Structure 1
Amino acid sequence: MKKYLFFILFITAFNLAFGQDEEVVVTSSVTGATLAEIDSPVFVIKGDEVNYSGTTSLGGNLNYLLGVNSSDFGPAVGQPVIRGMGGTRVRILSNGKLIRDVSGLGTDHLNDVDLNDITQIEVVRGPSSLLYSNGTMGGIINVVDQTITSKDFEGDDFNIGLERQSVNTGSSGSFSYKGNINGTNLTYAVREVNFDSYDVPIGAIIHEEDGEDDHDEDHEEGHLDNSDIYTFSNRLGTSWVRDWGYFGFSLGRIENSYGIAFHGEEEEHDDGDGGDGGDDHDEHEGERIQADTLSENITIEGASTNLSGIEKLSYFFQFNDYSFTEGHVEMHHDDDDDGGDGDDDHDEHAPTTFTNESFEFGLKLDIGDQASGNRQNFTVNLSQEDVAIIGEEAFMQPVDSKMLSLGYFLSRELAVFDLDFGIRVDQVERDGSMVSGTPAVTVLHDISETDVSAALTMGWDLDNNLGLTLGISSVARAPSEKELFMNGVHLVAARNEFGDPTLESERSNNIDFSLDYENDGYFVNASVYTNAVDNYIYLVDSGNDGANNLDNFNYVQADANFHGYEVEFGKTISLNNAELLFSYGRDQVIGTFSDGGNVPRITPVKNIYRFAVEQDDVIYDIKVKDVQREDDLGVGETATEGFTMLDLDIRRSIAIGDNEELVLSIFGRNLLDEKARSHTSFVKDEVPLAGRNFGIKVNFNF
């Protein structure tokens, strides 16, 4: 592998003329401060790195960040995992507002966020993210765009994008507009993605009935059936900016249709011993499992800045109507790859629909003086979610949730150190029910949790080159709907899942210490943390078979401890016409239960090597991710082999006229065609990561 790497490095750097690039100042919309002013571990991925790169899931865009991984369920689903924590412990935001889909109800559900024409992605690791959002332990991921802008656009900006990928013979197209018409800011963005099922390295797919030593011989598939995805997203926004502040609203709509590669295969051999219950799940060979989602969103927001004694009063209202439908579709084998449509006469199971109708109101009162570096905020958030599952495979009764969050946040620049403090009071009420017994008996549950969370961060600038940060936090998270009320067969995951209405709130007590050093082009960033979680909630195999010949999994609680580190160091070299970057990073997290044993699906150790060159209007970026074997296993887990992922991006900007620009991007993913799988995934063996992929993307800005 090293031979290939150094050969590519040599070819990339050959014949370059070197120079110096201008400094770019990036500001986090979460904190309102530049990265140089932020003491908490905030990472910002620039919009160009996403807009001009290959289309992938949210988690796929974050995989090269230290401390961040994703739990995959095919190309459509990549739920982020931060410092070993995923699910509802990681909050996904859009412009600072929580995305309320149903990703928390299943590992096969995607995070429904629009990544077209974004400004940046912000990632805050660890419970210090309490300073920016409520109820987080792992961290937050905030996707930022300019759909509702608080600053007037200057001129009109259009973008047209086209993309092609080899691993899935897929394509995408996008269009966006930003401009100001007679004092009214207007934005529109639309994108269509159409990817077929993707290729995998020969022998990468492992079926559950295979023996550990011979599965590669028995299954030589080089293609993962039913791993296609179609997405159509569009959003429209407008705003008015005046001396008193701004006001705006937006409409957003996202449609997805994607195959679930694991489901059909698993059902074929769950009942393979005798074929009893043939009307349930024993024969699905000609069947496709398809998920269709629809998200419709209305957002109103604004701010007033001319109030006496108040620097800014900000507010928003958001309504979201979300549905996720999972259905069994009969495939016609005389058609082309993806079979098609015949789903009305041959369905063995009626579709199951997950819905989430929600609204949220937020108010923030800023009484600080940002010019002097002193900030002081009061926040109020009110929200309601009505979650329901309708259909033959409904494994949870409807749940009505009401949430109230009150927060106070203080940021001060003191003589010796900078201080950030936040405290939140969160009240969560969930009304649900569980059905059990024969005859069936419905038991109603009215659950209420009131939790107080606090976080303190102190930062010291020892000199112009070295900074230290200490974070201390105690953060609570109320149990989610599925952890409380799940009660039945989850066929897509091939297991029966049972919640527990008596579960208590988790509490994370975290200490995080980080160091940042930069001098003469050299840089070092290092963090070490320990996180003791009381009443940690997790899903565990009970060891008993249940309905449909599937294993029973229960949500249980135990005290757990997480500790780990992230470290990165490197060197930037400025030459005549270019800038070079060399860096190495490594992260590790260890999760254990207080009474013994390992927390399941912990992310393995990874090493990241990067070499990048920016010369005039051309960028070369090579990344190598070396993921080590994971064999510190929880109950019911199997070891996951390590892999080495080699990725390449080349981007060139070509000026066509005074205001026209063509951006040509060429990218390669998994260039070594490695068999790779995510240890954090429940379906890592049956749904490996994609094989070698080449792609090209063209964007025209005018």
Structure 2
Amino acid sequence: MKKSKLSIILLILLSSPLYGKENNQDKSQEKETSNDVITVKATSIKNKETFSSLLLNNREEIKGKQLEQIKTNTIGNTVSKVAGVQAEGFGPNAARPVIRSLSGNRVGILVNNLPINDVSFISGNMPIPVDMNRINEISISKSSEALLYGGSSSGGAIHLWDDRIMTQFPEKAISGAVTFNGSTNNGNGGSVNIKFSNKENWIFNLSGATKRVSKYKIPTRSKVGACYSYQQLKDHSALRDQCQVDMKVFTSRNPEAYPYISEFWKKYQVEYELSEDDKYTFKDKDYFSGIGYVDNEPNLRYKPGSPTSIEHVTPPKHYVENNNNEIPNSFLKSQSGNASLSYIGDDGYLGFSVTDFQTSYGVPGYAYLTTKTTRERYKPVSVSNSNRRIDIQGKHDHLAPFLRDSAFYYSYSESKDEELVGQIASSVFNTKSHQLALETAHTPLFNRLNGAFGINGNYRDLKTSGYDAYLPSVLTKEYGIYWVESLNLSPFELTAGYRKGYTQHNLNIPANYNRGRGQGSNLQNRHFDTSANTLALSFTPIDEWTLKLQQNISYRAPEINELYTHGPHYAYLIEEQGNSEFNTEKSKSIELSSVIEIGNFSNKLNLYKTDYSGFKFRRLTGISRGAGPVMEWDDTDLETKGLEYEFKYLYEMPHDHNLTFTLFGDFVENKSKRKLFIAGHYLPNLPNEKHGISIYYQHDELTAFSSATYYKKQKESGGLMYGGDMAFPSYTLVDAGIGKKYHLDKVDVSVDFIINNLTDTEARPASSQLKYLVPLPGRNYGINVKIDF
């Protein structure tokens, strides 16, 4: 990060409280409620939040109109326009969130306070078993939440909230909502939700949703221009792999450069399996045992001064020819259903829920080069997920004079994930998991000290099968216990917490199991002791300004893909080798944040730095096999640093017309403290720096918005190819929309028109794993209709 950027932001950070000291807190809170803006500082305890998360106070919320404007088919793409957050894309149907350049095993995804125990951390093309149609609120923690959930959230967490278990009573005995979503380039879908209550204690809730996409349209060809450049393809074998192009480049001896034809070659060509290149020689004689030297035959094709070798290049041939202006193999089918029963009393609630989720979609542009599933060379790749989950959760307030509340959360899920080559299952993952979390908060001590104590556990039984399975079956058990306290010494507030955990991986390997080859073939059971601690100091010199400095330290246990992968991983076009000798990964982060609210103006700034010891990542080896380049899991010491900002101003016009202007952006870099083979000092797929502006208009029930987000060209990402990767150009994404809510006799009807990628820009995010093969979808016109009754 450039020093000039840091200097400017630090100057703003320190001087911004001087803009004014008007105390208009009530007005500010009213502004936030009406416009559904992102809020940082919690003002009340909500049923959905754990008390410990409120004490840490690190989350930002997206809900209401703002969520409806940015919601997509994937979690990653939905939150990707938030400062500090991007998406690790495998096409429009699969994208995990990236927080401050980190994803996968370090960024937790939770539904209603419990982590999702899926296999998408193994491969980003795998589905996350959540129906985005049913999500009504998202909370984002860009700081570590390892204190609460362990090392899988050491890089932050995304919290998803839905109504699978009701915690508040509806106003009517029978109520609900029906939605319809139609679009020109994002498929069609809909949902229905019906709630039945006896107006006293019981609520029965039924809901379902469906989504269908046949294909996504794009403004140009699917593959990047370099995939059609003869010279670039000829010069870079790794580019040919990324582009999925067959093109043979090899050299042979030039017969015209050699004056003689070898007599030895003539006699022993068949016996010694000599090649055509052995036919020509500079020597005028060959030696034969028992005979002596024999004159070689002159080469009649000899031309003095000719080059000694000839380069041969076969015409480039794409694995699969794609149609222009569409993303190949980009279909999506998903559906979900939920039934729940809740009891709500004066002192808490208890709920039971059953959820079924089914999805299947194509992975754009992928066809397997080498696979045991079929003798045909190239087949389209798709994935499917079938997930059934049971949730039980409850909360009780005022248990005793010294207890504020206690809550518990439990889930059991069975999930089947498949990677399909054509119609044949290449890799199959069957997962059964139990998750339990308990937390108790005490009442304030001396009117100053608030705290909570919690335990959580995770049991995951993963069984693998399929012709190309690259992971063994593994049983994972995780346990953790934590304590967090917050001391109010106004204008200071001190928050501290500690966690102790344990992780165990037990292999289930049959006698005839193929362990593969290379580093990943050494498979063994592992167990790890983990821990995390948090220390934060908040300073609120005036009501309008809070400055916070916090430090997080955590030790993360390696995940099973880092330890045990050992074969072709076609989603990444590589052969992947884990390392079961890994030890825990340490992260130490420090963050300075500022929140200012002065009248109708608000400002948020975050400056952070994280140092990793034993950071786990895939490293190129320089070896290639049938599946592509061989990559091994390795570790290094890594430094991540960056900055995020947001400025917001509400302009109030006469007759209740309001305009909200928002300016936001982020910078991030991660750098290895040792030079990495091929990649250099930077890790691959580092996200783009981004800056954006949005305008939100509201008058009574009429709303409108427009936003533009600029993504800067990424020049500091680590290489995945000899000779350097391509630097993809910068781009700007523009969205707009307008909507209105109508209050009819017994129903409320909301109608919203939205345009995504208004300028039909070809956008290839630097963090996307498929950036050589597919861009983001092109322009989309959408209509969303919601009927509340």
Normalised by the shorter chain, which TM-score bucket?
0.7 to 0.9
Report deviation, 1:370: 9.8
| Contact 1:601 1:680 survives alignment (8 Å) | yes
Cα distance change on mapping 1:105 and 1:29 into 2, 3 Å: farther
Which residue of structure 2 lines up, in the alignment, with residue 651 of structure 1?
739
Structure 2 counterpart of 1:664, from 751, 759, 763: 751
| Separation (CA, whole Å) in 1 of partners of 2:180 and 2:647 | 36
| Contact 1:435 1:441 survives alignment (8 Å) | no
Structure 1 counterpart of 2:708, from 596, 606, 624: 624
What does 1:557-636 align with in structure 2 at a 5 Å threshold?
557-576=635-654, 577-596=656-675, 597-636=681-720
C-alpha RMSD over aligned residues: 2.9
Report deviation, 1:550: 1.4
| Contact 1:75 1:229 survives alignment (8 Å) | no
1:223 aligns to 2:323 (yes or no)? no
Which residue of structure 2 lines up, in the alignment, with residue 476 of structure 1?
555
Per-residue CA deviation, residues 625-665 of structure 1 (Å, 9 max, x unaligned), is 100001112131432221100011212111112x4111001
| Contact 2:520 2:578 survives alignment (8 Å) | no
Which residue of structure 1 lines up, in the alignment, with residue 240 of structure 2?
none
Per-residue CA deviation, residues 7-63 of structure 1 (Å, 9 max, x unaligned), is xxxxxxxxxxxx99944557666755799x877432100144335765421112112
1:130 aligns to 2:146 (yes or no)? yes
| Contact 2:382 2:421 survives alignment (8 Å) | yes
Cα distance change on mapping 1:485 and 1:570 into 2, 3 Å: same
Report deviation, 1:435: 4.5
| Separation (CA, whole Å) in 1 of partners of 2:55 and 2:735 | 30
Which residue of structure 1 lines up, in the alignment, with residue 59 of structure 2?
42
Which residue of structure 2 lines up, in the alignment, with residue 446 of structure 1?
525
Q: Please tell me the residue identity of whatever aligns with 2:326.
A: H
| Separation (CA, whole Å) in 1 of partners of 2:52 and 2:64 | 16
| Separation (CA, whole Å) in 2 of partners of 1:672 and 1:371 | 59
Which residue of structure 2 lines up, in the alignment, with residue 320 of structure 1?
413
Structure 2 counterpart of 1:304, from 376, 396, 400: 396
Cα distance change on mapping 1:303 and 1:38 into 2, 3 Å: closer
Per-residue CA deviation, residues 189-242 of structure 1 (Å, 9 max, x unaligned), is 211000111011113522885439889999882111111111101111111122
1:185 aligns to 2:203 (yes or no)? yes
1:283 aligns to 2:410 (yes or no)? no
| Contact 1:263 1:493 survives alignment (8 Å) | no
SS of the counterpart of 2:366? Answer: helix
What does 1:17-28 align with in structure 2 at a 5 Å threshold?
22-24=30-32
SS of the counterpart of 1:385? Answer: strand
Cα distance change on mapping 1:440 and 1:693 into 2, 3 Å: closer
1:386 aligns to 2:461 (yes or no)? yes
Structure 1 counterpart of 2:600, from 500, 513, 521: 521
Q: Percent identity?
A: 21
| Contact 1:560 1:599 survives alignment (8 Å) | no
| Contact 2:352 2:393 survives alignment (8 Å) | yes
1:167 aligns to 2:185 (yes or no)? yes
| Separation (CA, whole Å) in 2 of partners of 1:278 and 1:185 | 52
Report deviation, 1:440: 14
| Separation (CA, whole Å) in 1 of partners of 2:467 and 2:432 | 21
SS of the counterpart of 1:61? Answer: helix
Structure 1 counterpart of 2:341, from 238, 252, 259: 238
Report deviation, 1:466: 1.5
Q: Please tell me the residue identity of whatever aligns with 1:192.
A: T
Which residue of structure 1 lines up, in the alignment, with residue 237 of structure 2?
none
Tell me the matched-pair count.
Answer: 650
Which residue of structure 2 lines up, in the alignment, with residue 425 of structure 1?
500
| Contact 1:52 1:697 survives alignment (8 Å) | no
1:199 aligns to 2:277 (yes or no)? no
What does 1:62-77 align with in structure 2 at a 5 Å threshold?
62-77=79-94
| Separation (CA, whole Å) in 1 of partners of 2:397 and 2:700 | 41
Report deviation, 1:403: 0.6
Q: Please tell me the residue identity of whatever aligns with 2:744.
A: I
Report deviation, 1:151: 3.2
Cα distance change on mapping 1:617 and 1:554 into 2, 3 Å: same
Q: TM-score, normalized by length of structure 2? A: 0.77
Structure 1 counterpart of 2:162, from 139, 145, 168: 145
Report deviation, 1:595: 1.5
Bigger mean CA offset, 396-405 vs 184-193: 184-193
1:544 aligns to 2:623 (yes or no)? yes
| Contact 2:697 2:705 survives alignment (8 Å) | yes
| Separation (CA, whole Å) in 1 of partners of 2:504 and 2:410 | 20
Which ranges in structure 1 are unaligned for 5 or more consecutive residues? 1-18, 272-276, 330-342, 344-348
Per-residue CA deviation, residues 390-420 of structure 1 (Å, 9 max, x unaligned), is 1101111101101111111112222331222
| Separation (CA, whole Å) in 2 of partners of 1:370 and 1:281 | 71
Bigger mean CA offset, 82-91 vs 245-254: 245-254
Report deviation, 1:131: 4.6
| Separation (CA, whole Å) in 2 of partners of 1:206 and 1:360 | 43
| Separation (CA, whole Å) in 2 of partners of 1:212 and 1:424 | 56
Q: Please tell me the residue identity of whatever aligns with 1:85.
A: L
| Separation (CA, whole Å) in 2 of partners of 1:650 and 1:373 | 46
Cα distance change on mapping 1:463 and 1:99 into 2, 3 Å: same
Q: Please tell me the residue identity of whatever aligns with 1:322.
A: S
Bigger mean CA offset, 569-578 vs 401-410: 569-578
SS of the counterpart of 1:568? Answer: strand
Bigger mean CA offset, 605-614 vs 146-155: 146-155
Structure 2 counterpart of 1:553, from 603, 613, 631: 631
Cα distance change on mapping 1:464 and 1:114 into 2, 3 Å: same
Which residue of structure 2 lines up, in the alignment, with residue 414 of structure 1?
489
| Separation (CA, whole Å) in 2 of partners of 1:415 and 1:473 | 23
Q: Please tell me the residue identity of whatever aligns with 2:82.
A: L
Q: Please tell me the residue identity of whatever aligns with 1:199.
A: K
| Separation (CA, whole Å) in 2 of partners of 1:565 and 1:373 | 32
SS of the counterpart of 1:50? Answer: helix
| Separation (CA, whole Å) in 1 of partners of 2:475 and 2:372 | 36
1:496 aligns to 2:513 (yes or no)? no
Structure 2 counterpart of 1:487, from 562, 566, 580: 566
| Separation (CA, whole Å) in 2 of partners of 1:571 and 1:387 | 50
Cα distance change on mapping 1:256 and 1:603 into 2, 3 Å: same
Report deviation, 1:678: 1.9
Report deviation, 1:564: 0.4
Which ranges in structure 2 are unaligned for 5 or more consecutive residues? 1-26, 34-38, 234-242, 244-315, 676-680
Which residue of structure 1 lines up, in the alignment, with residue 13 of structure 2?
none
Per-residue CA deviation, residues 348-395 of structure 1 (Å, 9 max, x unaligned), is x54431122100122112223399574311111122101122110111
Report deviation, 1:444: 4.8
Per-residue CA deviation, residues 564-603 of structure 1 (Å, 9 max, x unaligned), is 0001223211112211111211201110001141122111
| Separation (CA, whole Å) in 1 of partners of 2:118 and 2:695 | 37
| Contact 2:127 2:384 survives alignment (8 Å) | no
SS of the counterpart of 2:224? Answer: coil
| Separation (CA, whole Å) in 1 of partners of 2:519 and 2:588 | 41
SS of the counterpart of 2:686? Answer: coil
1:81 aligns to 2:169 (yes or no)? no
Structure 2 counterpart of 1:466, from 532, 545, 549: 545
Per-residue CA deviation, residues 290-342 of structure 1 (Å, 9 max, x unaligned), is 2111110001122333533322222222101111112122xxxxxxxxxxxxx
